Structure 1
């Protein structure tokens, strides 16, 4: 017997690596010393850093992949994979440097895997992050036919003196919200239940886009606009709005004696979220704990810096909203309130 008889096709894996190499080459940046193909990828921290601190993040795409399998949407889940890690690393003020991916399946379909990795490469390009390595695991019997799993890992760097940890946040500071591109990559177990419950009564379009395109819109990459803002304005704290929504993620950057009070009418709620709430009978409080509700990233700045930060972000193509303020916290009040 051969390894192929057992369900593992080494030739298919080699063919995928050949397809990946030109995609990874497009993401090369300063610091890359060795890339795809070696046992380990080599990266030198750029010499412009005087006291570099490495910041790491890892994540997946979650059950959004189940819709990707069902609807044949493999081109953008790689962008989701990159975004979930690079946006997290960005919160500390770090510049993403390099990214590695893990693709696991029962039987390797080279065309599908190449489409997925193509999305990963696009996400890395948009983030200025090098795709320098990864792993493709073909494991017969572990996954149903046509399904796969993804994991990603990112390393970034920030000057020690430039780490953003929220400790300087005080009452009177302003909370700025950046628009999301959709549900991003959290809450899809509920999304899938609502889609299933709606049956054939699904709308043709939401927010002016075909329904499936809108539901599967990839997570927005905030790296380049936010890094530009950090060069222009003192940002005190940031939050990537992932699982837990606004009310669970903003407190992660707040001092214990403060709270964020948000105005729920300060930004437009996309039709997608209104449809999910209506069709699923989801309580407003649950919407804010499960979904980003239209805000995918938050920055906290001093009141006098809010206008300048908004201008820089808008110049980078972001939709920016002044969504709230920081106030003193009394007792055991929750640290984020949506009014």
Structure 2
């Protein structure tokens, strides 16, 4: 080993800028402060974040979830749209724990890059804070990792972690779902964060650009619309109707066909009429330009339905009205029927 070059090295020489990391923390702190809520004991800045489960819970069960944003990030890089993917990150985890009846309590993020851009990272975290505000949970911690050589310039990765609580007696597990229950759907805000590998294939095939006009809007706005967060209206509905809401399914990867059966017992089928809602223009365009089979569409994309509820028939109308009053677009999609013993499935006709 040679010792000819004795110039002192710094971490910055190796590609890591500690000062940039500290500048980012300073930018993040006021964003996180807006998300504070009951239970937060210590948040951003410590080695670990402290959170006390609110005392209004009698038998709290913690529910956790983790997710990312998937290849939607590739469009964020290429189109320089970083302000909404943080909302997607929060939504994918909080909507997941919501389906078991959990109130999201706090959220942590992991942001990894090759070279830290404080402006880009702050834009992403600004979206995360916005998502946490929408979900009513606190952004109490996270990690920013600058790792030279691990990621190309201008790229980063995201992961998110949500923890919520539900009363043990109020856990939603779908076990009470029975034949004759009504299937309701809440409208999505777009493709959310699923199917973007196929979506990007269609964009490439059609040579589509973010500035192109699409259905009276800018294509970039349509494609990058953040995932809808259903937490507050659904928690209110659960508080009012309790066990009448028997099952919830977040329509993510796997679409309507694979997600709804996850809450059904063997021998039950969700029978959904495709005529009960209009597939938004984005999905019709993807289907036509990609020549994608309809059943493939229902398995890859949410096709305009971001959350599915299974509700007792005698309460379905009231639940639908309450959610509509809260600003949700609600569709009566179909009903629960019987099917072959040992299987559960969704059928879209």
- Please state which band the TM-score falls in when normalised by the shorter chain: over 0.9
1:195–1:202 Cα contact (<8 Å) kept: no
* DSSP 3-state at the match of 1:303: coil
User: Superposed, which structure 2 residues align to 1:144-293 within 5 Å?
Assistant: 144-199=152-207, 204-233=212-241, 234-293=244-303
The answer to whether residue 137 in structure 2 is matched with residue 111 in structure 1 is no
What's the CA shift string for 1:84-108, capped at 9, x where partnerless?
0000000000000000000000000
Query: Residue in 2 aligned with 1:304?
Result: 314
The CA deviation at 1:189 is 0.3
What's the CA shift string for 1:34-93, capped at 9, x where partnerless?
000000000000000000000000000000000000000000000000000000000000
The CA deviation at 1:206 is 3.2
* DSSP 3-state at the match of 1:299: strand
1:207–1:270 Cα contact (<8 Å) kept: no
What's the CA shift string for 1:121-151, capped at 9, x where partnerless?
0000010000000000000000000000000
What's the CA shift string for 1:177-197, capped at 9, x where partnerless?
000000000000001111011
Bigger Cα displacement from structure 2, 156-165 vs 256-265: 256-265
The CA deviation at 1:334 is 5.5
User: Superposed, which structure 2 residues align to 1:9-24 within 5 Å?
Assistant: 9-24=17-32
The answer to whether residue 34 in structure 2 is matched with residue 51 in structure 1 is no
The CA deviation at 1:203 is 8.9
Bigger Cα displacement from structure 2, 72-81 vs 225-234: 225-234
Q: List alignment gaps of at least 5 residues for structure 1.
A: none
Query: Residue in 2 aligned with 1:321?
Result: 331
Q: List alignment gaps of at least 5 residues for structure 2.
A: 1-8
Query: Residue in 2 aligned with 1:8?
Result: 16
* DSSP 3-state at the match of 1:151: strand
> Structure 2-normalised TM-score?
0.95
* DSSP 3-state at the match of 1:18: helix
The answer to whether residue 91 in structure 2 is matched with residue 121 in structure 1 is no
* DSSP 3-state at the match of 1:265: helix
CA distance in 2, matches of 1:58, 1:149: 14
What's the CA shift string for 1:242-288, capped at 9, x where partnerless?
00000100000001121100001101110000000111110001000
* DSSP 3-state at the match of 2:315: helix
2:266–2:341 Cα contact (<8 Å) kept: no
The CA deviation at 1:205 is 3.2
The CA deviation at 1:315 is 1.2
What's the CA shift string for 1:187-214, capped at 9, x where partnerless?
0000111101111588933343211100
Cα distance, 1:13–1:202 mapped onto 2, change above 3 Å: closer
Point out the structure with max Rg over C-alpha: 2
